[in-house]
Copies of this chain bind each other. A is one copy, B any other.
Amino acid sequence: MIKYAILGFGVVGGGLAEVMADQREKLAAAAGEEMELGYILVRHDYPDSPWRDKLVRDFAVIEHDPDVAVVAEVIGGVGPAYEYSRRAILAGKSVVSSNKQLVAEHGAELAALAREHGVSYLFEGSVGGGIPLLRPLCRCLAANRIDEVYGILNGTTNYILTAMDQRGRAYADALRTAQELGYAEADPTADVEGIDACRKTAILADLSFGRNLSPEDIPSRGITAVAPADLELARAMGYTVKLLGRAARTEEGVCAFVEPHLVPESHILASVNGVMNACAIRGSAVGEVVLCGPGAGAHPTASAVAADIADAVRHRADPQVPDLGTPGDKPLPADELCSRWYVRAKCGPEAVSAAFPGAEPVYGSTGECGFLTAMLDRRQLEKKLAAVDGRAAYRVLA
């Protein structure tokens, strides 16, 4: 019987062991054979765990067991996760992962290594948690030139923005609630500054455009500066505020960035609230599809990782390695991308008209106004902001 190992026994690792046990029969049908949990790599003792017989502290035990065909890396971060992933592939084992940082930073290298060693490297759970997303993008939409991917890729920030929008909460207040509910970490930087969304945007761009982008080259703005007034003014104009990761093919190359956006209330993404995630994919044949669901959490993420384990077992004769692209030029400067903008400003309607002809300001309870501009790039926009005492400016999703 084929064995698999789980590296890491945190939230996702525990959920994965449960899901694999719960749906053992169905997963065996998907894999084409029975699969047995061989080991869970841990750093602490868990004497009361139902899997206590499977716990090991030394990765070499897993590495040297020839019956282990698949290793699920759910440690997170880069250090040991990267080292163990490499060693597993070198030992002829398929690796599946939900680790967006590792996939974004070293995925192309690990994919090349997997191809070289004839094993699978799959990472469905690294973007969008439980949402079927990467396999649909790469397999179901194989008949499409992908032109754009964009979406709500971080549940923590979407929870905070939803609380600010629906319950009028201030940012710091909504963040505190998110932390109390376990939706945000004690140090929320990676979420609220857009770093997590940036990694996922990099993975989506890599798979969509065949160019491996470094997350460092994707400019990312978070939500720390979004004010209740922005949500109030957006709503008055028929929009809501969402943090979007976007990557698009242009005539000159690939453009990718993470920024808060105004999304029209009629757009499906405007209905994606709380910790839900959603990703839109624009393809040459299909037009646009939108895939929504829980973007994080133990069981949703385990759902994705478990399916990858089954897929890796099923395809031992035909290893599955999605194409994360080859490194090349940097992405185009996002600031040069034109769009309409929302501006929050402190000035009278005459000043708005003078700087932004045709804009129609709406005034909110803070005395500030909001309005939408014509198509501009960021530099053109920023030149005009001083004239209206501009306090915030976000792109409008067309």
Listed in ascending order, the chain A residues whose CB lies under 8 Å from chain B are: 15, 19-20, 22-23, 26-27, 29-30, 32, 124, 130-132, 135-136, 138-145, 266-268, 270-273, 283-294, 297, 299-300, 302-304, 306-307, 310-311, 314-315, 317-318, 323
Known: A23-B144, A140-B307. A268 touches B292 (CB 8 A): yes
CB neighbours of A30 from chain B (8 A): 138-139, 142
CB neighbours of A136 from chain B (8 A): 132, 135-136, 140
Contact at B292–A287, with CB atoms within 8 Å?
no
Taken together as a complex, chains A and B put the C-alpha atoms of A266 and B140 apart, in Å, by 29
Taken together as a complex, chains A and B put the C-alpha atoms of A40 and B293 apart, in Å, by 40
Taken together as a complex, chains A and B put the C-alpha atoms of A271 and B271 apart, in Å, by 7
What's the number of copies of this chain in the assembled complex? 2
Contact at B132–A26, with CB atoms within 8 Å?
no
Known: A132-B141, A136-B132. A285 touches B299 (CB 8 A): yes
Known: A23-B145, A142-B310. A286 touches B293 (CB 8 A): yes
Taken together as a complex, chains A and B put the C-alpha atoms of A266 and B272 apart, in Å, by 9
Please tell me which one of the listed residues B287, B306, B307 contacts residue A293 in the complex, with CB atoms under 8 A apart. Answer: B287
Contact at A143–B26, with CB atoms within 8 Å?
yes
Closest 7 CB pairs of A and B: A289-B293, A132-B140, A132-B136, A143-B306, A30-B142, A130-B286, A285-B303
Contact at A287–B130, with CB atoms within 8 Å?
yes
Contact at B307–A318, with CB atoms within 8 Å?
no
Known: A136-B132, A286-B130, A293-B288. A27 touches B143 (CB 8 A): yes
Can you list 9 A-B pairs with a CB-CB distance of less than 8 A?
A: A23-B145, A30-B142, A132-B136, A142-B307, A268-B292, A287-B297, A289-B292, A292-B292, A318-B318
